[in-house]
Chain A
Amino acid sequence: MLEINNLEVCYGDTQILYNISLRVNEGEIVALLGSNGSGKTTLAKTIAGLVKPRAGNITLNGSRIDKLPPHKIVEKGLSLVPEGRMVFPHLSVLENLLAGATVTLKRKGNFRVLLDYVFEVFPVLRERQYQLARTLSGGEQQMLAIGRALMCNPKILILDEPSLGLAPIVVQAVFRTLKKINEDGLTILLIEQNAFEALRMSNRAYVMETGKIVGEGTPNQLFSNELLRKAYFGLREGGI
Chain B
Amino acid sequence: MILVIFLSLLPQSRQSLLIGILLGGLYAMMALGLSLILGVLKIVNLAYGETLILGAYVSYYSTQLWGLSSLVSLILVVPILFVFGVFIHRAMLTKILAAGGEPLILLFGLALALQNLMMFLWTPDARSIPSPLTTTIHVEDAAISLMRVVTFIISVLTVMLIRFVMSQTRFGLMVRAAAQNKDAAELVGINTTRVYTLLFGIGCALTGFSAVFTGILFPFNPVSGLAIFLKSLAVVTLAGMGSIGGLVISGLVIGIVESLGGYLIGGGFKDLFTYGLLLIIIIVKPTGFFGRY
Contact = CB atoms under 8 A, between A and B. Distances in A.
B186 A71 contact: yes
Contact of B190 (A50, A86, A99, A151): A99
A148 B185 CA distance: 11
B259 to A, nearest CB: 34
Contact of B180 (A71, A88, A98, A148): A88
B268 interface: no
Which one of A48, A75, A102 has the highest number of Cβ atoms from chain B below 10 Å of its Cβ? Answer: A102
Contacts of B180: 88-91
A86 B185 CA distance: 9
Interface residues of A, number: 29
Nearest to B185: A99
Nearest to B194: A71
Contacts of B176: 88, 90-91, 95
A91 B177 CA distance: 8
B173 interface: yes
A64 B170 CA distance: 30
A69 B189 CA distance: 10
A80 B187 contact: yes
Give the size category of B's interface with A: 20 to 34
A49 B183 CA distance: 10
A11 B188 CA distance: 24
Contact of B184 (A88, A90, A95, A98): A88
B189 A106 contact: yes
A187 to B, nearest CB: 17
Contacts of A86: 181, 183-184, 187
A102 B188 CA distance: 7
A53 B177 CA distance: 26
A88 B190 contact: no
Interface in A117-148: 148
A100 interface: yes
Contact of A79 (B170, B177, B185, B187): B187
Interface string A61-91: 0000000011100110001101000111111
Nearest to A98: B173
A69 B170 CA distance: 21
Given A99-B174, A102-B174, A105-B170, A88 B181 contact: yes
B191 interface: yes
Interface string B165-207: 0000010011011001101111111111000000000000000
B186 A50 contact: yes
Contact of A100 (B181, B183, B188, B192): B188
A105 B174 CA distance: 12
A76 to B, nearest CB: 10
Given A82-B187, A90-B293, A99-B173, A71 B181 contact: no
A149 B189 CA distance: 10
Given A88-B176, A99-B173, A99-B177, A82 B188 contact: no
Nearest to A96: B177
B186 A148 contact: no
Contacts of A82: 183-184, 187
Nearest to B177: A99
Interface string B73-104: 00000000000000000000000000000000
Nearest to A106: B189
Contacts of B187: 48, 50, 70, 74, 79-80, 82, 86, 149
A71 B183 contact: no
A213 interface: no
A152 interface: yes
Contact of A69 (B184, B191, B292): B191
A71 B190 contact: yes
Nearest to A75: B189
A87 B184 contact: yes
Contacts of A100: 188-189
A188 B170 CA distance: 29
A69 B186 contact: yes
Interface of B: 170, 173-174, 176-177, 180-181, 183-192, 242, 292-293
Interface of A: 48-50, 69-71, 74-75, 79-80, 82, 86-91, 95, 98-100, 102-103, 105-106, 148-149, 151-152
Given A74-B187, A90-B180, A148-B188, 11 more contacts: A69-B191, A71-B190, A74-B189, A82-B184, A82-B187, A90-B176, A90-B293, A100-B189, A102-B189, A103-B189, A152-B188
9 contacts: A71-B191, A79-B187, A79-B188, A82-B183, A88-B184, A95-B173, A99-B174, A99-B190, A100-B189
